[in-house]
Structure 1
């Protein structure tokens, strides 16, 4: 059964989303939505990462709290720096961050964190997953930022996934 429905919840969600977007329960839409919900997970099955094994679920709440605080603080900081750019121009930079995290799911979570926090952009990951190239909107101290990044995001993700 899993061969035909590799992700049954995804199939159901796609079918319901199809019906919601079309605002119709006509037989044609019911059939097309079901077909889409059946075929899309089959075609994307090879793209899915390995199953997630969470080692330390208690760390997730701490990480979410840290990310939430950093998002709010970074929004305010970036907004202030943009507002005052004529007086104190930002110092953008690309920095290379050595990574100890090699789990695919952990790296995916780390990339989402980089995307969510304003002022940082995940630019490139080395093929061997050992170095992350990240763009920073305003860089004061590279060593301090690397240590903050590793302590605040990478180490908790390593506790969760490795």
Structure 2
């Protein structure tokens, strides 16, 4: 994966430089190569902890689940906002115990939860409990099961 990073990123940055400058002059090509290599080296120093994903095929069903959940949540939140009734929804906070410890997996979980309308990642406590705000908190056990089984378990299989 590291080799891919050091080949793809400089090539992408070099092409981007040429496209933005709209020039194929020798000076722009030389400057583009130098900047692409330097930015790649500098960016690698900013990430001391590298991800080591395993079983990447598990990411496909996770992606499909997240996409379906985002679509369903958009529809549900849209209905709540466009047709507001005081007793239709009950916002609230829940604490979800997490077993995942990998920082990359936790970051992915934070993105998934935040991308889904109606939910916001609030905090991760020292004892690894996720504090989640939910726009429509009907059943706390359903939310805990959803996050643990549908998101956390596949992310643990990928990152741990």
Fold agreement, TM-score > 0.5: yes
Tell me, in whole angstroms, the C-alpha distance in 2 between the residues paired with 1:23 and 1:135: 47
Is the contact between residue 95 and residue 142 of structure 1 (CA under 8 Å) also seen in structure 2? yes
Aligned residue number for residue 9 of structure 1 = 8
Cα distance change on mapping 1:133 and 1:27 into 2, 3 Å: farther
Tell me, in whole angstroms, the C-alpha distance in 1 between the residues paired with 2:37 and 2:139: 51
Tell me, in whole angstroms, the C-alpha distance in 2 between the residues paired with 1:32 and 1:67: 41
Is the contact between residue 81 and residue 88 of structure 1 (CA under 8 Å) also seen in structure 2? no
The answer to which structure has the higher helix fraction is: 2
Is the contact between residue 122 and residue 132 of structure 1 (CA under 8 Å) also seen in structure 2? yes
Aligned residue number for residue 95 of structure 2 = 96
TM-score by length of 1: 0.80
Is the contact between residue 119 and residue 133 of structure 2 (CA under 8 Å) also seen in structure 1? yes
Gaps of 5+ in 1: none
Q: 2:99 is paired with a residue of what secondary structure?
A: coil
For the aligned residue pairs, the C-alpha RMSD in angstroms reads 2.6
Cα distance change on mapping 1:129 and 1:157 into 2, 3 Å: farther
Cα distance change on mapping 1:32 and 1:94 into 2, 3 Å: farther
Aligned residues: 157
Point out 4+ residue stretches in structure 1 off by more than 6 angstroms. Answer: none
Cα distance change on mapping 1:116 and 1:52 into 2, 3 Å: same
Q: 1:135 is paired with a residue of what secondary structure?
A: strand
Gaps of 5+ in 2: none
TM superposition shift of 1:36: 2.5
